A and B are shown apart, each in its own frame.
Chain A
Amino acid sequence: MWIYEKKLEYPVRVYKNDLGMAKFLMAQYGGPDSELSASVRYLTQRYTMPTDKTKGLLTDIGTEEMAHWEIIATMIYKLVKGVSVKQLREAGLGAHFAQHDRAVYPADAAGVPWTAAYIQATGDPITDLHEDMAAEQKARTTYEHLIQLTDDPGIKDTLRFLREREVVHFQRFGEALNDIQELMDSKKLYST
């Protein structure tokens, strides 16, 4: 089960509307390498992990990703808060308004809805952990692109925090992978 904590993991400082940036941030909200993909990926893969360490790590990182998903949603919500339909339309968000008004719907920066096809769970811990490490790097790269797309110091600060978390998660997944590789090597040793 999960219990909600009524706070963000990290503050979101947004003082002015920026519809273009809201649109770009959708990449990390409902895109292929988004926080949503990360959370669903890890929380799905954990069931078939062979060690307690990896079950724990995927549960905890999958949970932290939900908190990051909430941070991205908060940024988007604040960036579009109070704007007129005309402004949305001029910013290229007319199609979004037609289908979702100002709702924070999980689609990517180009409006493509989120799909489970973005993630994989193969039941092979080595394969899954490699996917997870690649996912963290892809998310890091996306954050670096997003940081270049804004001059707002508040947005940059929160994006830098999220970027740093991808680096830490990558490191922890790498340690989990080494651990499982050692386990498999030792099994091979005993069975021959």
Chain B
Amino acid sequence: MDERLSMLKEIQSLEFFAIELNLFLDTHPGDRAALRDFYSVRDKLLVAKKRYEEIYGPLMVFGHTPVKCPWPWIEGPWPWEIEYE
């Protein structure tokens, strides 16, 4: 698997964990263990996204992509065009 896909996969799995905890916390806002897990996975996710954006360009238009010309946001592949392995 190429490096870009494996980084993307890592981001997807961290973000999935974060989404799952996000929904759980919506209905269990005082659950300390879930809060701890959420902030821990969020920190890992932010680091992984920053690393990806510095190399491969933006995941979010207001992300961590370094200043670049031309405008990197529109560079493919778009999510539906990626060949996952």
Contacts and interface: CB of A to CB of B under 8 A. Distances in A.
B8 A6 contact: no
Q: How large is the interface on A (under 10, 10 to 19, 20 to 34, 35 or more residues)?
A: 20 to 34
Nearest to B57: A6
B71 interface: no
Interface string A140-159: 00000000000000000000
Contact of A4 (B15, B22, B61, B82): B61
Contacts of B29: 53
A112 B78 CA distance: 28
B40 interface: no
**Which of A3, A11, A78, A168 is the most central at the interface, judged by chain B CB atoms within 10 Å of its CB?**
A11
Contacts of B34: none
Interface of A: 3-13, 53, 56-57, 60-61, 64, 70, 73-74, 77-78, 168-169, 172, 175-176, 179
B80 A74 contact: yes
Contacts of B55: none
Q: How large is the interface on B (under 10, 10 to 19, 20 to 34, 35 or more residues)?
A: 20 to 34
Contacts of A60: 19, 22-23, 26
Interface of B: 8-9, 11-12, 15-16, 19-20, 22-24, 26-29, 58-62, 73, 78-80, 82, 84-85
Closest 9 CB pairs of A and B: A11-B84, A175-B27, A74-B80, A57-B26, A56-B26, A8-B79, A13-B84, A6-B59, A172-B23
A4 B60 contact: yes
